Amino acid sequence: MENIKELVKNRRSVRTYDGRVITAEDNAKLCAFMENIKNPYGINVQFKLMNADEHGLKCPVVVGTDLYIGGKIKRVPSAFEAFGYSFEMLVLYAQSLGIGTVWLGGTMNRPAYEAAMELSEDEMMPCATSLGYTANKMSLRESMMRKAIKADERFPFESLFFDGSFDVPLTENAAGELACPLEMVRWAPSAVNKQPWRAVVQDNAVHFYLKRSSGFGGHDKLDMQKVDIGIALCHFDLTVQELGMKPIFVEEDPGIPHDESTVYIASYRME
């Protein structure tokens, strides 16, 4: 994938499609890409193309396509983050082909999707996406939904990213060469646009945290906010790599004090 910055900036959730079937060429490219997606946790995600009619899939917010992709992963530690990373790779790749997607975790008849994915006992399907070419005009439902969750907005840079400790906001200026990768994190999609990712830059490392939104408890069977963090890690990793840096992924809590609603997830050491 090339030009991650453009892909991230131009991506938005697409819920209204123009009805055209995905070309055989795009279909083949997507399938080939799906086979080779990796994430820093080394946990495999399996993807599957699914037809709505064949499997009885219903998603009331989506119009103009019958095509979906689901992803499944083993229920192991860090599976949600790994899933978020891998599935976002697919989302960005689809974007590079001019194909619209929308992360779907809630607004669907989930049992039908899970049945279509043929989950085994130890597997789960955190999310799926619809797939197709973007319609010129959004449905009324989609535009109302976007307004309600302020989907075109993000929190300011300084309220998401910190300099050495959570008491010191990081400005874009002070972030230097990390400003762009962190800005790409800022524009990541997240469930209900809650933007739960936080990062502290300290001693040439970037430490990622999840700040739980109220009502998004961590004990759910499906932890959408951990999926959000995986998406953030993906945007960060792809951007720094494109800028020629070689980040090293580690899970080593640096012990930076934080509040009760915040949990440490993982770090990138910038060598």
- Applying CB under 6 A, the residues found at the interface with ligand FMN are 12-13, 15, 61, 102-107, 127, 149, 151, 189-193, 224, 227-228, 231
Helix (H) or strand (E) holding 29: helix 24-35
d(CA 214, CA 231): 20
Which is nearer to ligand FMN, 107 or 139 (by Cβ)? 107
Which is nearer to ligand FMN, 184 or 224 (by Cβ)? 224
In the complex, minimum distance from the CB of residue 97 to ligand FMN, in angstroms, rounded to a whole number: 18
d(CA 229, CA 195): 9
Which is nearer to ligand FMN, 186 or 201 (by Cβ)? 186
Contacts of 110 (CB under 8 A, 6+ apart): none
In the complex, minimum distance from the CB of residue 100 to ligand FMN, in angstroms, rounded to a whole number: 10
In the complex, minimum distance from the CB of residue 141 to ligand FMN, in angstroms, rounded to a whole number: 10
d(CA 78, CA 227): 9
In the complex, minimum distance from the CB of residue 219 to ligand FMN, in angstroms, rounded to a whole number: 17
In the complex, minimum distance from the CB of residue 216 to ligand FMN, in angstroms, rounded to a whole number: 11
Which is nearer to ligand FMN, 104 or 170 (by Cβ)? 104
Which is nearer to ligand FMN, 101 or 267 (by Cβ)? 101
d(CA 173, CA 210): 24
Residue 17: DSSP 8-state:
B
Q: Which residue is nearest to ligand FMN (CB)?
A: 189
